[in-house]
């Protein structure tokens, strides 16, 4: 997601500094700086945050896995981003949360917090940290509960959850730059799917108007999932 976002924003001449613990797959576009650093290292994270006007925090473990890994990369990682932001006075942070924070809800009901995995618990915690820092420091935080980021929908539940790459760029850029009145905002990140399970609360505040919809990709079959989190909700906890 970060690779595509950076490529899209770079075409508009927006200056960017990318961070990842792994080397970049390809040479970054012109005007884009790449910093190889690990979010578990607070000093390196703070150094990378210097002089930045907004951080889109996407890095972390993105699949279910051992709880200790979630604590290290996703919870401590989010804490270090927010602490770096406080120290470097970065005014805005976008946190990549996940629809899995509400993944244990039945697909035909409302969606209160109900994380479906250790991964989702790490995202709930990152949202909570974002809320805390937004209220106790000067940073504004937008938590985006991303649906299913794919080039196109590939399974029935994507009729509700799909987020297209160009909509992701529009949403994340708005979340990073749009003037906001309050300190903290949570939004769901999907395309304009007619069958979405989640409210569009916050989209207007961000000026987010999706260009795509899973409705443009008919024929993916009947929904088999019991829970919003799909397989994440059905799988056993890792040991
Ligand atoms: N792809 C989706 O459908 C989806 C859905 C919901 C939420 N999200 C969230 O969006 C974000 C981006 O997802 P993605 O699919 O692009 O993930 P990805 O796995 O492609 O990219 C994550 C990147 O984070 C880096 N990383 C991991 N731990 C790190 C650390 N400690 N320090 C520095 N870098 C580290 C990895 O090297 C990797 O390049 C993630 O936070 C993910 O949880 C994605």
In CATH, what number is assigned to the domain containing residue 17? Answer: 3.40.50.720
Enter the pTM of the model: 0.98
Q: Which long-range contacts (CB under 8 A, 24 or more apart) does 177-184 make?
A: 177/54, 177/92, 178/205, 178/206, 178/207, 180/140, 180/142, 180/205, 180/206, 181/205, 182/140, 183/134, 183/135, 183/139, 183/140, 183/141, 184/130, 184/131, 184/134, 184/135, 184/140, 184/141, 184/142, 184/143
The DSSP secondary-structure symbol of 238 reads P
In a domain? residue 201: yes
Instruction: Determine which residue's CA is closest to atom 28 belonging to ligand 1.
Output: 60
Give the pLDDT confidence score for residue 31 in this predicted structure.
81
Residue 222 covered by a domain: yes
Q: What's the pLDDT score for residue 181?
A: 94
For 120, the domain range is 2-234
- What's the pLDDT score for residue 221? 82
Asked whether residue 110 is domain-assigned, the answer is yes
pLDDT averages per 10-residue partition of the chain, 239 residues? 95 95 87 95 98 98 98 98 98 98 96 98 99 98 98 94 98 98 98 96 98 85 92 95
Q: Which residues are catalytic?
A: 119
pLDDT of residue 219: 67
- State whether the beta carbon of 96 lies less than 6 angstroms from ligand 1: yes
For residue 178, being part of any structural domain is answered with yes
Atom in ligand 1 nearest the alpha carbon of residue 22: 37
Alpha-carbon gap, residue 64 to 128, rounded angstroms: 20
Tell me whether residue 239 is in a domain.
Answer: no
95 contacts: CB under 8 Å, gap ≥ 6: 57, 78, 126, 127, 130, 141, 142, 143, 144
Q: How far is CA 211 from CA 28, 137, 166, 185, in A?
A: 27, 35, 8, 22
pLDDT of residue 175: 98
pLDDT at 102: 98
Number of domains the chain is built from: 1
Find the 2 Cα to ligand 1 centroid distance in Å: 8
């Amino acid at each position: 997601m970060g690779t595509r976002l950076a490529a899209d924003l770079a075409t508009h001449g927006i200056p960017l500094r990318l961070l990842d613990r792994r080397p970049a797959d390809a040479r970054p576009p012109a005007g884009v700086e790449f910093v190889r650093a690990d979010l578990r290292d607070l000093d390196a994270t703070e150094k990378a945050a210097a002089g930045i006007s907004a951080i889109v925090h996407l890095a972390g473990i993105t699949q279910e896995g051992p709880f200790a890994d979630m604590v290290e990369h996703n919870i401590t990682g989010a804490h270090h981003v927010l602490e770096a932001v406080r120290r470097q006075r970065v005014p805005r942070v976008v946190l990549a949360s996940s629809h899995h924070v509400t993944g244990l809800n039945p697909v035909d009901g409302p969606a209160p917090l109900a994380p479906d995995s250790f991964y989702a618990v790490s995202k709930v915690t990152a949202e909570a940290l974002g809320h805390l820092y937004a209220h106790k420091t000067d940073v504004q935080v937008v938590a985006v509960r991303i649906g299913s980021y794919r080039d196109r929908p590939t399974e029935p539940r994507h009729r509700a959850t799909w987020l297209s790459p160009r909509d992701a760029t529009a949403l994340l850029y708005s979340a990073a730059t749009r003037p906001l009145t309050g300190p903290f905002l949570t939004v769901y990140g999907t395309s304009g799917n007619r069958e979405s399970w989640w409210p569009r609360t916050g989209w207007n505040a961000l000026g987010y108007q999706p260009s795509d919809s899973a409705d443009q990709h008919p024929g993916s079959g009947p929904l088999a999932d019991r829970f919003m989190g799909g397989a994440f909700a059905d799988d056993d906890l890792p040991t």
